[in-house]
Structure 1
Amino acid sequence: MRHSTTDETHKAQWVDVEGGQIPLSTHGAGASAILFLHGWTLDHRIWQPQFDDQALAQSFRLVAIDRRGFGASKAPPDLDREPEDIIAVLDHLDVDRVILVGQSQAGRAALRFANQHPGRTAGLVLVGSPIGGLEPGPAPGEDVPLEHYRALATADRLDEMKQLWAAHPMIQGGSGTTHAPMAAMLANYTGQDLLAPAPQPGPDIGGLGAITAPALVITGTHDTAWRRRVGDAIAVALPHGTRAEIPEGGHLCNADAPAAFNRLLSRFAESVCV
């Protein structure tokens, strides 16, 4: 099943994946593709500031999906299957190699994909992504209390969970321009993933040396100290990693500091597509 808008450069489509379908939107007509993977409780709309950037759209083919279990996706949540979903999206679009942008939780899927499919990974951009095996861990208040959130969702107290998450420093940091779109996406969040079996542990800091793709690791200066420290460690652990911070950007720095983020992304994408 496929749906398209009347705009020839901005199309919405459905892609068959294990257990259902996921929607994707495309914009631009560049020869090289950038695939955006949104963070937890979000959907493809978090990437609107990138789709609105005419320079990016002229140079690249921009693709954003609703990951399984989020947004309008019709596939059940399963973080472990997301690398397979990326393959399905690339094959659907007839894209051989892609630049992957993984935001927060989706960085785990992006890292797994780059490790499993090096031949199809032109570049890797990680935005506020977590990692396992790094000590010390986050300070109290910096972590995401998933077990508490899972207990609230299981007890049919999803609204309470959403209120707590909306007040978390990872959501409140930054310029404040993300608050309205974040609220809209959070309102649509169904908590399916909290009711599903917990995924396998994500990539460990010690395993990143096997990833050969060039990588850019980004955080906002107003992200939590833990996520910024994780960004430093990932950039060092990746054989071809580089590090950047966005002034005035929070955890969702692509949305609350889009001009700076888009410049970084464009320069990186151009460097790996030469």
Structure 2
Amino acid sequence: MSQALETGYVAVDGGELYYEAVGSGLPLVFIHAGVADLRMWDAQVAHFSPNYRVIRYDTRGFGRSKTEAVSFSNRQDLLAVLDHCKVDQAVLIGNSRGGSIAIDSALSFPERVNGLVVLGSGLGGFGSEELPPELVEPIGKMQAAQEAKDWALLAELEARFWADGPNQPAGRADSAVYEAVRSMTYENLINQPIEAQAQPLEPPAVGRLAEIKVPMLILIGLLDESDCVDAAKYLAEHVVNAQYVAFPDVAHMVSLEKPQEFNRIMGEFIERSLL
């Protein structure tokens, strides 16, 4: 018997956030990467919704969410989704910037978060300002495409970088993974012309990891760009209750490249640490 899917919009200052919720039980809230939208979690919704309440949403400026040119907080936006869905506590699952949003939110309102799962995650305040030498060329090409407003080329370059991995041969990742990232990125570029300004967490998360007391699962593909790989190791070393899992043959989009393995590892983590 299929479960009823709840969809709608959450009103936030200067915008509205599209969300979907299905299932019942322990709430799991999925936060997408910056080269995606909530559709990147399709395999996880199908896998976890029979046993958990699965919530996902398009962050401001992505997917079907809408925004005005305002200053805003991704953390407050997430809190608005939790409140709208009447969720007191949730496990937050985030990829890339979604991981950074999850970590920042756990630091901002720890009473609402009972677990963290991050994949190829950003970490506020971590890393140097200078690009590693191996990233100068690919990042330069992406910046040139953006300045030229060549959105099709930019989406292709982003997908090659994040799906295949920096300096990996084109086509390393499965074509379906590449196409998913390319198409979601392209749609975001052409459908979200208004740029709102996200407010960073102050002080940043990198110096506050001792405040994280909930169980945390850290996943990283070792073909990801070096800042993400280093951030994952740093998180594992500085968060008390953390589990670290590395995939040697995966880049940035762990849950898209290895959905079954990711679902198994995350499911075991939840059962062991949170139930």
Verify same fold: TM over 0.5: yes
Distance in 2 (CA, whole Å) between partners of 1:73 and 1:144 is 32
- 2: CA distance between counterparts of 1:20 and 1:204? 26
Residue 240 of structure 1 deviates from its aligned partner by 1.8
**2:13 maps to what in 1?**
18
How far does residue 150 in structure 1 lie from its aligned partner after superposition? 6.1
2:103 paired residue among 102, 108, 111: 111
Q: Tell me, yes or no, if the aligned pair for 2:11 and 2:17 is still in contact at 8 Å.
A: yes
In the alignment, is residue 85 of structure 1 matched against residue 77 of structure 2?
A: yes
Q: TM-score, normalised by structure 1?
A: 0.84
CA distance in 1, matches of 2:137, 2:9: 31
Determine the C-alpha separation between the residues in 1 that align with 2:94 and 2:136: 19
Q: SS of the counterpart of 1:216?
A: strand
Indicate how the Cα distance of structure 1 residues 201 and 73 shifts in structure 2: closer, same or farther if over 3 A, else same.
same
Using the alignment, how far apart are the partners of 2:5 and 2:267 within structure 1?
A: 19
2 CA distance for matches of 1:218 and 1:240? Answer: 14
Q: Which moved more, 1:209-218 or 1:150-159?
A: 150-159
Structure 1: how far apart are the matches of 2:193 and 2:134?
22
Task: Give the drift of 1:267.
Answer: 1.5
For 1:230, the aligned partner's letter is: A
Q: Distance in 2 between matches of 1:76 and 1:162?
A: 23
Partner of 2:224: 223
- Report the CA distance between 1:269 and its aligned residue: 1.9
Q: If the length of structure 2 is used for normalisation, what is the TM-score?
A: 0.83
Q: Structure 2 vs 1, CA of residues 201 and 273 (structure 1 numbering), >3 Å: closer, same or farther?
A: closer
- Change beyond 3 A, Cα 1:185–1:26: same
Aligned residue number for residue 200 of structure 2: 200
CA distance, structure 2, for counterparts of residue 101 and residue 84 of structure 1: 16
Aligned counterpart in structure 2 of residue 41 of structure 1, from 29, 35, 47: 35
CA contact (8 A) 1:35 1:100 kept: yes
> Matches of 1:80 and 1:137 in 2, distance apart?
27
For residues 137 and 57 of structure 1, do their structure 2 counterparts lie closer, same or farther at Cα, with a shift above 3 Å needed? farther
Distance 1:238 1:146, change over 3 A: farther
The change in CA–CA distance for 1:135 and 1:190 in structure 2 (over 3 A counts) is closer
Preserved CA contact (<8 Å) 2:74 2:199: no
- The SS at the match of 2:82 is helix
Partners of 2:271 and 2:79 lie apart in 1 by 23
Counterparts in 2 of 1:182-197, with a 5 A limit?
182-190=181-189, 192=192, 195-197=195-197
Q: Which residue of 1 aligns with 2:158?
A: 165
3-state SS of 1:52 partner: helix
Tell me which residue corresponds to 1:3: none
User: Measured at CA, do residues 134 and 183 of structure 1 come closer, stay the same or move farther in structure 2, by a change above 3 Å?
Assistant: closer
RMSD over aligned Cα, in angstroms? 3.0
1:245 is the counterpart of 2:238: no
Kept after mapping to 1: 8 A contact 2:5/2:22: yes
Q: Deviations over 1:175-226 (max 9, x none)?
A: 4241222222122112758955575378342221222222111112432344
In structure 1, the residue matched to 2:169 is none
- Counterpart AA for 1:44: L
Greater mean deviation of Cα atoms: 44-53 or 75-84:
75-84
Match of 1:51 in 2: 45
CA–CA distance in structure 2, aligned partners of residues 197 and 148 of structure 1: 24
1:139 to 2:138 alignment: no
Displacement of 1:103 after TM fit?
A: 0.6
Tell me the distance in 2 between the aligned counterparts of 1:144 and 1:86. Answer: 35
CA distance in 2, matches of 1:266, 1:52: 13
Q: Is the 8 A contact 1:246 1:260 kept in 2?
A: no
The 1:33/1:106 distance shift into structure 2, 3 A limit, reads same
Aligned to 1:259: 260
Q: Secondary structure at the match of 2:67?
A: coil
Question: Are the aligned partners of 1:249 and 1:256 in contact in 2 as well (CA < 8 Å)?
Answer: yes
Mapped contact 2:107–2:205 kept (Cα < 8 A): no
Kindly tell me: are residues 188 and 135 of structure 1, through their superposed partners in 2, closer, same or farther at Cα, counting changes over 3 Å? closer
Say which is worse superposed, 74-83 or 100-109, in terms of deviation: 74-83
Give the C-alpha shift of residue 116 in structure 1.
0.9
Change (3 A) 1:138 1:150: closer
Q: Residue 208 of structure 2: SS of its match in structure 1?
A: helix
Q: CA deviation at 1:137?
A: 6.8
Question: Would the aligned equivalents of 1:125 and 1:216 in 2 still touch at CA under 8 Å?
Answer: yes
Aligned length: 264
